Each structure stands twice: as structure tokens, then as C-alpha cells.
Amino acid sequence: MFRFTKDERLLRRADFLRLSAVARKLHTSSFIVLWTPGETGRRRIGITVSRKVGTAVVRNRIKRLVREYYRHHREALPSIDLNVIAKKGAERLDYHGVCRELDPVVERLAGLEC
């Protein structure tokens, strides 16, 4: 139920570039969420955390928190491709902070008809 399979991940560079070129954006104080209707008919997520945000330990922690959030809230999302980009300041968030940041984004995306 809470598995995160390869089918649910954006893996190819071309997918990330396509999202950067044509996606719509939603901003929070710690994240930028790029989204576009999915090409595969299922929801997929990519997580981007640059070196500006922190050390490898910090970046991996942010990615773990966002993946955990996605696992618990993916059923609310339509079949879209999304990329969650962490901004500076995301390193200070715990899981509940990530929830507070991304809940309004998921609510807005849940209302979409793709």
C-alpha cells in the first residue's frame, strides 16, 4: 500500500527537462512544485534538491520526507507528473512542516481534471 515503485518515479532526464519547459508551477515558502498532465496515465513524482540547500545528508533527508509525504497522499492526486524542488529553508522542516507546506498544493492539484 505504501510502496514507492519505479513506475511512480520520474527517472529520465528528458522527463525532468519536459517538466521544466512546459509545466505549471506552484510555490510554497520551501518548495516549488512543477506539474503537467501525465503522459503515462499514472501519477509520477520527481524530487530535486540542489547542493545550495545543504550537505548530502540534509538533501537526502529532505528527499526522504517528501517521498514519505507522497506515499501517504498519492491517492488524492490525479494522473500527473510532478517535480518537487526544494528551496533554501527546506532543511529546517520536519515531516509535519513538509505536510503543512505541501497539503495546500495537493488540495489544489486534487481538484484538477486531467
- Sole residue written with cell 492539484: 109
- CA pseudo-torsion sign 27, 30, 32, 37: negative
Please, which pLDDT band fits residue 42 given cuts at 50, 70 and 90? confident
Q: Which candidate, 49, 68, 52, 70, places its Cα nearest to that of 60?
A: 49
**What is the distance between the alpha carbons of residues 64 and 55, in angstroms, rounded to a whole number?**
14
| pLDDT score of 1 | 62
- Indicate if the pLDDT at residue 114 is higher than 70: no
